[in-house]
Structure 1
């Protein structure tokens, strides 16, 4: 790992209790799996279950090293109680861009006050380290997004829908709250900026991951898959088990006070993505080009940009392992086995 980063506390997982906020989710459930496989002493799964599904963590309900806690991020006393005796926190709970479009008041509350409440509780209870789930949305959207999206890049908003900008801005503020708590209260943290996460236990809320599911549904019903453009639009996905590994590596790393991209091995165009799903289904259907209605949120659309992950390799020793073709196969295999949205 690199030596040019600030160092703070790292966790010995076998002697640690780790809390996952927003645990009843795609990333949360897989992160719990990875933590348990790594021998973590205790894993606390915290969720208010407004979006999260008990089904996602049902396989962990009776695990001897798992504790499930129903609590609300907006109720500080509940979070203070939940973080007592906790060594590390993986903070995943958040509204995404679709939430900012549908219920912006609630989304702002959860993505800002909810983060602040968690950081305050962690500081009060002397939690050693917080991993904050951010997003490549912190680079913005629209015409200014070109080339390599490196971690020091400025935020761009020209031409983007308000919900997308609000979501990206909320993640920037969450990151800066983490920095504030390190500077003022000594709380170590790392920020992981996820690309679009997809994989088994996929939900129907994230705009780009939702596109995979919608396309599969169309093809299976005999309809031509719909593409919003000519197929050249770039999208960036990262498989959920890779993201879970990054969360675990971040907890174990002494690196603190920095942000890093967590992206997949390669970008994929919309056309390539649709063809992968067609190939999986053994279908000869031809895509129908139909532009998105005005204001539609597609998080990583825009152009031929690239999201490097070399900083994560240097800082926490992480690299993605699952290419998009293999990831699509795993996701759709799971979908077939579970047959209902």
Structure 2
């Protein structure tokens, strides 16, 4: 591979978003087009993503929607030809990993390798890979400041969640190996739980937000699992999209950084915040974990440090949790008419960012 600068100008650039019919993918596509990208191609097989969230892109002459699958290398080779940057979002998340780990491992490991091979073969200048703070694991060992060197913890965590986190670690290492062997430039972004407009029902922690809103809109008391003291860390989707663009534009390569929201929140704080922003004073009820569902236990208080992202790609979060939730609720109410009815496009799959 020829030596080139890892920095890519968004304006005038050509970008492929793999798994782009998703919360993060659709928002990133919008931002790339707003910032002057010459072409944005969204590739998705729509098994996890929803056509509804990218339907508006069909009206933009600089956007292309392509049906394709990360398990089909020829499709990735065709889609990535001539692209400056590739954003890889397609993934099975913890809920779908718990339901079908074999398929999840195929998508999260073989799928990543296929995307890397397509980038290498077509001399794509930079790959941005969406990883997760799941690489730090779950349970009592997850506490304090989580930085990029924090090890993986799995004691007592649900097997589906552990398999998901381990698959993201392997995906990161495949990127690292491609850089070592072939000089393929990349940046790994370890997302916190992403929320915002176009919210779906597929991320285990994000369910606290959307299910609370659904119950409140139906006049039911919101539910808090346990005592509500567990820490969660969320990232507004607009901030996630900015991080993706910053990773392309920065000179950084061969690096993995946390991309997290401004501050952590407890489950009880989150449920109360959603309830209040929805205009309700219903008191939450504390319940036991529902049987048969993946529940991600963080253990004690923790904070996901994003200072390395500011140094490497010049990014920091801008949207506070309360503001992001207010935007989500406004959007949700527009979709449902405030009657709690689910829009057909909100839950069309089981995974993806």
Q: Same fold, TM exceeding 0.5?
A: yes
Matches within 5 A, 1:144-159: 144-159=141-156
Contact 1:137 1:299 in 2 (8 A): no
Rounded to whole Å, the distance in 2 between the matches of 1:271 and 1:92 is 30
Runs of 4+ in 1 over 2 A off after TM superposition: 293-302
The answer for the alignment partner of 1:179 in structure 2 is 176
> Does structure 1 residue 38 correspond to structure 2 residue 35?
yes
1:25 to 22, 27, 48: 22
Contact 1:236 1:300 in 2 (8 A): no
SS at match of 2:87: strand
Unaligned runs of 5+ in 1: 1-6
SS at match of 1:173: helix
Rounded to whole Å, the distance in 2 between the matches of 1:312 and 1:49 is 31
> Does structure 1 residue 210 correspond to structure 2 residue 207?
yes
Rounded to whole Å, the distance in 1 between the matches of 2:101 and 2:272 is 35
SS at match of 2:206: helix
> Does structure 1 residue 190 correspond to structure 2 residue 187?
yes
Matches within 5 A, 1:1-341: 8-293=5-290, 296-299=293-296, 301-339=298-336, 340-341=341-342
Following TM superposition, by how much is the alpha carbon of 1:284 offset from its aligned partner in structure 2, in angstroms? 2.2
Q: Cα RMSD (Å) of the superposition?
A: 1.3
Rounded to whole Å, the distance in 2 between the matches of 1:13 and 1:222 is 45
Following TM superposition, by how much is the alpha carbon of 1:18 offset from its aligned partner in structure 2, in angstroms? 0.5
Contact 2:17 2:25 in 1 (8 A): yes
Following TM superposition, by how much is the alpha carbon of 1:302 offset from its aligned partner in structure 2, in angstroms? 2.3
SS at match of 1:190: strand
SS at match of 1:208: coil
Following TM superposition, by how much is the alpha carbon of 1:175 offset from its aligned partner in structure 2, in angstroms? 0.1
Following TM superposition, by how much is the alpha carbon of 1:39 offset from its aligned partner in structure 2, in angstroms? 0.7
Following TM superposition, by how much is the alpha carbon of 1:130 offset from its aligned partner in structure 2, in angstroms? 0.2
Alpha-carbon deviations, 1:196-216, whole Å to 9, x = none?
000000111111112211111
Rounded to whole Å, the distance in 1 between the matches of 2:47 and 2:193 is 21
Give the number of aligned pairs. 335
Rounded to whole Å, the distance in 2 between the matches of 1:142 and 1:193 is 18
Rounded to whole Å, the distance in 1 between the matches of 2:105 and 2:149 is 24
> Relative to 1, partners in 2 of residues 1:8 and 1:139: Cα closer, same or farther, differing over 3 Å?
farther
Unaligned runs of 5+ in 2: 343-353
Rounded to whole Å, the distance in 2 between the matches of 1:330 and 1:300 is 27
The answer for the alignment partner of 2:351 in structure 1 is none
SS at match of 1:61: helix
SS at match of 2:16: strand
